[in-house]
Structure 1
Amino acid sequence: MTQLDIAPPLSTDAMPSPLAAVRSTTETAGHAIVRVLEEHGIQRAFVVPGESYLEVLDGLHDSTIETVVCRHEGGAAYMAEAEGKLGPLPGVAMVTRGPGAANALVGVHTAWQDSTPMVLFIGLIPLAHRHKEAFQEFDVQGWFAAGAKSVMVLDVAERAQEVVADALFLARAGRPGPVVIGLPEDVIRESIEHHPQPQLPVADGGMTGHDLAALRGALQEAEKPLFVTGGSDWDAEASQRLTRWLERHRLPAVAEWRTEGIVPFESPSYAGPIGYGRPKPTLDVLEECDLLVFVGTLPGDVITNGFLVRQGWQRRNFLVSIDPTLRGRSGAVSHHILARPSAFVRDLEQIELAADERRARWTTRLREQQSAFSALPDRTPGDGIASMATVMAHLVPELDEHALVTFGAGEHTNWAHRYFPTRSYPSMVSCGNGSMGYSIPSAVAASLHFPEREVVSIAGDGEFLMNGQELATAAQVGATPLVILVDNQEYGTIRTHQERRHPGRISGTQLENPDFAMLARAYGGHGIRVEADRDVPGAVAAALELWRERDRFVLLHVITEQRAQAY
């Protein structure tokens, strides 16, 4: 028997364990998904759990990514969409197959119409169960392909890291939007090799020499130019730089529906909101101006009052959009500048215009109209039922310069459009597709994204009851918005349309509501109810005092009359 020379064993400190070596080079596809999200800077994921993606949930357990457990997939998707608006990265939501995916579709539609970067992960049935009408099986391509930029299904585990990196890129590239990733539950349990996935750069575009010359010439010739700002693809620096440039040249800008705050509320260049419910003078200026420059948005049906305003082909319209197809455009296009707002503003600063008193008078006139329109109502309460005019008169002066407002859809939103002081970007988070139920989820997302800022949500009673249960999420994760709940016991917008087409025949729009202040307390927040206008000043003061403790959310339940309008 041959004697073998056996080296003495290495100390346990010097010798890596075989298990550690395996862990350093392999991981499950579900864990790899979380790691790539983490490496790309994603800070939180909004989830409703499901057994179909347990491996991803397990990966989140030890991750730096905050897992925000939501009460409904629609709420989770809205939160992710709002996070995408708040920037700079896509919002991330995770839901399960079948019913969970169906519930999340509303957030995908919101992201599609608002051009918001968002990634939705959906757990799916195992591969072997496919096409057998298995429990909660559905066609992810069939459901989402028409309303997402891309729909991917992770059928090969080894591609998990690449697919996530691609999705985060696609959500932001070109015109931003939602990307959907299907995760078969057996595939994400497979072990794969660890491969880093660097972030892919997103092209910003910019003005060519020809673009600069064309825009400079058009602005110099115009007597009544007007900028229209909008969209979700902005940042604070671009907002500030555009504002400085407009003010230096004494040029006016209006804000697309539900996107106020790009040019601050109190800027001498800000000429007000434009969209549904707009004041008539703001609509009239679209026809009166001799040059329109749309930045980050397009002249769609909302701005043009159903494709009726500014439709003549002789109109001079410059469109600044990173989308080469100009999808959603209405009316004439004189010049298309392919650029994101930040790149456009960077290049715009090269343009210096000669002073022109005609443009200055035009800007002053528009600003005076907006100042009169947005002047706060009288602070003196009336004798009757609580009024939102009194609420806003007492709330707005108490807000700090970085206050942010969220809201969904309904006539209650007009109180924010008219009076809320959007002073710094972003300071208004809403949904251009008119989606009800958005106010509370977006307020939770905004409060988590900006914990140092004052976040106010103005919600209608009908809208609140669609996703108000996400206040339980707010209590769980420490989100602290101030919710102003406008309770007029009806679906007010539909009632308005109903009165126009079928006057005096109210049908399907009236509501009987719970005590929302009591409900807020049950969810773990503070709740205050006010019914008489004389009690509004004290109720607002009490709500603000509780809110500034910042220990939990506060809800002010305002019982108001039907047909009460902001304008």
Structure 2
Amino acid sequence: METKTHAGQAIVDSLALHGVNRVFAVPGESYLAVLDGLHGADIETIVCRQEGGAAYMAEAHGKFTGEPGVAMVTRGPGAANAFVAIHAAWQDATPLVLFVGLIPVADRERESFQEFDPKAWFGTQAKRVLVLDEASRASEVVAEAFFAAKSGRPGPVIVALPEDVITHEFTGDLHPPIAVAEGAVSAAELEVVRTALASAEKPAIFVGGQRWTPAAAAAVTSFAEANGIPVIQDWRAADRIPFDSEVFVGALGYGRTAETARIFTEADVLLAIGAVPTDVPTDGYTLRQSLDATNIVVNIDSSLRGRSGAVTAHVLASPVAFAEAIKDLRLGKAAQWDSWRAAGRAAQAAFSALPDLAALPGTREGTGHMSAVVSELVRRLPHDAVYSFGAGNHCAWAQRYLPTNVFPSQLSMRNGSMGYSVPAAVAASLQSPERLAVAVAGDGEFLMNGQEFATAVQYGAAMLIIVMDNGQYGTIRDHQEHHFPGRVSGTQLANPDFAAFARAFGGHGETVTSDAQAAIAVERSLKAVRDQRIPAIIHVITDPAIALP
């Protein structure tokens, strides 16, 4: 007897054809045919606790692998919960494909249960919103979605699935993946780059954005090191150049050093690779805004969305294509740029050096320094650890001290979105279980998606989470004290025992209430992650008076 294939099965088969090994989902009756297709498929279905967590995991997967992360959610409330990650992927240019179940076609525009218009909801924050209205196009729509998510400036794509259409018979062949262009560097463009850098007295390279690979990051690093050109990394994208490279002079954005901003501003030639000078790295459009500046921008985005300041030349190429073009380019001026680079490198090395705990201000009884725990962790980290953090004051410790030695190793949010750290660490741990995934979270940030710790336990994502508990939304409290000193309002938190939380879910939990407890807490937690293969939480109770390292 011939077995007919429904469109839901064709979607799953097409995902497999595109190399998808894992999807992050919260189930819903609106896409049961796709769940049926996943039954027995060689694609792991990670069942998450909330759609925001599932979509964040997909976003982190996109950052970590360069391939679109895939999330699946139901209509109405499910789609609404996932929207936060779509906004994040849009601003971070992360490839992501979100499948959303819809009401049956015949029920449209009748205020049906959980009805919404996906194009109206997602249209301003997604590269494309595709609605599958013909079962025969199921595989083609998947191919179009993956192509749109990956090509040019990457980003999120929504695929909306009416629950009746995906049960209809699929006829035809599976649509193959659509090749994505990397762009190219012409001989004339390479000469423009070479001439500009060779004639510069104070050159600098600015790196970030998407479309990187480990090989591209290594090639750009080699180019910068061989030519002695200082490299500045974009905010929350500080893993393109190794932490200890002699050309790394810091990252821009919140928590930067003055020297990093000085080099960025004073460079007579700035070569931007993958990154564009948006509002955060330019301190709210105040740094390097002269229209007379020489800025060569290498970016596969033909629109250069988000850029500010002058653009002297635009090379339409991905970091991969550009890295290949410049890998053997030698300018012969490294020694002449030593003094220009030295101050920035010294400032960055001092900034990222582990703190002297004895020199730190004392803390209240029953609290410890976040710096003590981070210092003990850094001393025990493997070379290829990967870190995740969302938004809040706690991020200052992560971006300042945790060494990003290889690409990719830093997963974070450029749009200031909270609740990202735990789902991102889950995604990284599942994709590369041989690497240690470390999430750094604040007390407020953790509880936005901390329930995904249960997902980590269920699927064996053995990761370490450090929760900095200062009993408040610290960043907002800082702003509050600046604008309305002494009038604390709407920022205070009463928190649970996060170590007990970890144990309740089947993980390992430690509590740190003094610096003396830091070493053993880190040691035992890493042992649980490494030997027992379970996730762990270190609950660090800190003094709210100490806001930043």
| Deviation string, structure 1 residues 73-97 (Cα, Å, up to 9, x no partner) | 0000000000011113200000000
Q: Does the 8 A contact of 1:418 with 1:566 survive in 2?
A: no
Q: Name the residue aligned to 2:96.
A: 118
Q: Does the 8 A contact of 2:14 with 2:175 survive in 1?
A: yes
SS at 2:531's partner residue? coil
2:365 pairs with 1:365:
no
Q: Name the residue aligned to 1:526.
A: 508
User: Which is worse superposed, 47-56 or 237-246?
Assistant: 237-246
Paired amino acid for 1:395: L
Q: Name the residue aligned to 1:144.
A: 122
Q: Name the residue aligned to 1:302.
A: 280
Provide the C-alpha distance between the structure 1 equivalents of 2:27 and 2:35, rounded to a whole number of angstroms. 8
Provide the C-alpha distance between the structure 2 equivalents of 1:550 and 1:271, rounded to a whole number of angstroms. 39
Q: 1:109 aligns with which of 87, 91, 96?
A: 87
2:314 pairs with 1:336:
yes
Q: Does the 8 A contact of 1:85 with 1:233 survive in 2?
A: no
| Deviation string, structure 1 residues 53-78 (Cα, Å, up to 9, x no partner) | 00000100111000000000000000
Compute the RMSD of aligned alpha carbons: 1.3
Provide the C-alpha distance between the structure 2 equivalents of 1:547 and 1:351, rounded to a whole number of angstroms. 44
| Deviation string, structure 1 residues 4-30 (Cα, Å, up to 9, x no partner) | xxxxxxxxxxxxxxx2xx33xx41000
Paired amino acid for 1:485: V
User: Which is worse superposed, 356-365 or 332-341?
Assistant: 356-365
SS at 1:191's partner residue? coil
Q: Name the residue aligned to 2:382.
A: 400
Q: Name the residue aligned to 2:183.
A: 205
Provide the C-alpha distance between the structure 2 equivalents of 1:363 and 1:284, rounded to a whole number of angstroms. 11
Q: Which has the larger radius of gyration?
A: 1
2:466 pairs with 1:484:
yes
Q: Quick one: structure 1 residues 376 and 149, their matched pair in 2 at CA, closer, same or farther if it must change by over 3 Å?
A: same
| Deviation string, structure 1 residues 249-282 (Cα, Å, up to 9, x no partner) | 1111111111111100011111112111212221
Paired amino acid for 1:36: S
Number of residue pairs matched?
A: 545
C-alpha deviation, 1:292, in angstroms: 1.2
2:213 pairs with 1:235:
yes
C-alpha deviation, 1:379, in angstroms: 5.7
Q: 2:522 aligns with which of 526, 531, 540?
A: 540
Provide the C-alpha distance between the structure 2 equivalents of 1:270 and 1:534, rounded to a whole number of angstroms. 33
Paired amino acid for 1:154: L
Q: Name the residue aligned to 2:455.
A: 473
Provide the C-alpha distance between the structure 1 equivalents of 2:301 and 2:116, rounded to a whole number of angstroms. 31
| Deviation string, structure 1 residues 32-53 (Cα, Å, up to 9, x no partner) | 0000001110010000000000
Paired amino acid for 1:86: F
Provide the C-alpha distance between the structure 2 equivalents of 1:529 and 1:559, rounded to a whole number of angstroms. 8
SS at 1:254's partner residue? strand
Q: Name the residue aligned to 2:531.
A: 549
Q: Name the residue aligned to 1:192.
A: 170
Provide the C-alpha distance between the structure 2 equivalents of 1:138 and 1:367, rounded to a whole number of angstroms. 52
Provide the C-alpha distance between the structure 1 equivalents of 2:302 and 2:5, rounded to a whole number of angstroms. 40
Provide the C-alpha distance between the structure 2 equivalents of 1:81 and 1:294, rounded to a whole number of angstroms. 24
| Deviation string, structure 1 residues 103-158 (Cα, Å, up to 9, x no partner) | 00001101100000000000000011111000000011100011000001001111
Q: Name the residue aligned to 2:254.
A: 276
Percent identity, please: 51
2:399 pairs with 1:420:
no
C-alpha deviation, 1:381, in angstroms: 9.8
Paired amino acid for 2:369: S
User: Which is worse superposed, 289-298 or 397-406?
Assistant: 289-298
Provide the C-alpha distance between the structure 2 equivalents of 1:550 and 1:425, rounded to a whole number of angstroms. 27
User: Which is worse superposed, 105-114 or 380-389?
Assistant: 380-389
Paired amino acid for 2:75: R
User: Which is worse superposed, 538-547 or 378-387?
Assistant: 378-387
Provide the C-alpha distance between the structure 2 equivalents of 1:321 and 1:313, rounded to a whole number of angstroms. 19
Q: Name the residue aligned to 1:248.
A: 226
Q: Does the 8 A contact of 1:380 with 1:390 survive in 2?
A: no
Provide the C-alpha distance between the structure 2 equivalents of 1:50 and 1:38, rounded to a whole number of angstroms. 21
Q: Quick one: structure 1 residues 307 and 69, their matched pair in 2 at CA, closer, same or farther if it must change by over 3 Å?
A: same
Provide the C-alpha distance between the structure 1 equivalents of 2:333 and 2:266, rounded to a whole number of angstroms. 21
Q: Does the 8 A contact of 1:27 with 1:194 survive in 2?
A: no
Structure 1 runs, 4 residues or longer, greater than 3 Å off: 379-384
| TM-score w.r.t. length of structure 1 | 0.94
Q: 2:5 aligns with which of 6, 27, 33?
A: 27
Provide the C-alpha distance between the structure 2 equivalents of 1:262 and 1:135, rounded to a whole number of angstroms. 46
SS at 1:147's partner residue? coil
Provide the C-alpha distance between the structure 2 equivalents of 1:368 and 1:280, rounded to a whole number of angstroms. 12
Provide the C-alpha distance between the structure 2 equivalents of 1:531 and 1:440, rounded to a whole number of angstroms. 22
* Correspondence 1:173-184 to 2 at 5 A: 173-184=151-162
Provide the C-alpha distance between the structure 2 equivalents of 1:220 and 1:146, rounded to a whole number of angstroms. 42
Provide the C-alpha distance between the structure 1 equivalents of 2:222 and 2:183, rounded to a whole number of angstroms. 22
User: Which is worse superposed, 251-260 or 529-538?
Assistant: 529-538
Q: Does the 8 A contact of 1:205 with 1:322 survive in 2?
A: yes
| Deviation string, structure 1 residues 219-274 (Cα, Å, up to 9, x no partner) | 01111111111113211111111111111111111111111111000111111121
C-alpha deviation, 1:350, in angstroms: 4.3
Q: Does the 8 A contact of 2:70 with 2:97 survive in 1?
A: yes
* Correspondence 1:316-355 to 2 at 5 A: 316-355=294-333
Structure 2 regions of 5+ residues with no counterpart? none
Q: Does the 8 A contact of 1:389 with 1:566 survive in 2?
A: no
2:241 pairs with 1:263:
yes
SS at 1:558's partner residue? strand
2:477 pairs with 1:495:
yes
| Deviation string, structure 1 residues 366-409 (Cα, Å, up to 9, x no partner) | 21111111111136698642101111221101101101100100
| TM-score w.r.t. length of structure 2 | 0.97
Q: Does the 8 A contact of 2:9 with 2:33 survive in 1?
A: yes
Provide the C-alpha distance between the structure 2 equivalents of 1:458 and 1:88, rounded to a whole number of angstroms. 23
C-alpha deviation, 1:551, in angstroms: 1.8
Paired amino acid for 2:378: V
Provide the C-alpha distance between the structure 2 equivalents of 1:316 and 1:84, rounded to a whole number of angstroms. 32
Q: Does the 8 A contact of 1:304 with 1:310 survive in 2?
A: yes
C-alpha deviation, 1:356, in angstroms: 4.5
Provide the C-alpha distance between the structure 2 equivalents of 1:194 and 1:151, rounded to a whole number of angstroms. 23
Structure 1 regions of 5+ residues with no counterpart? 1-18
Provide the C-alpha distance between the structure 1 equivalents of 2:290 and 2:334, rounded to a whole number of angstroms. 27
2:27 pairs with 1:45:
no
Q: Name the residue aligned to 2:418.
A: 436
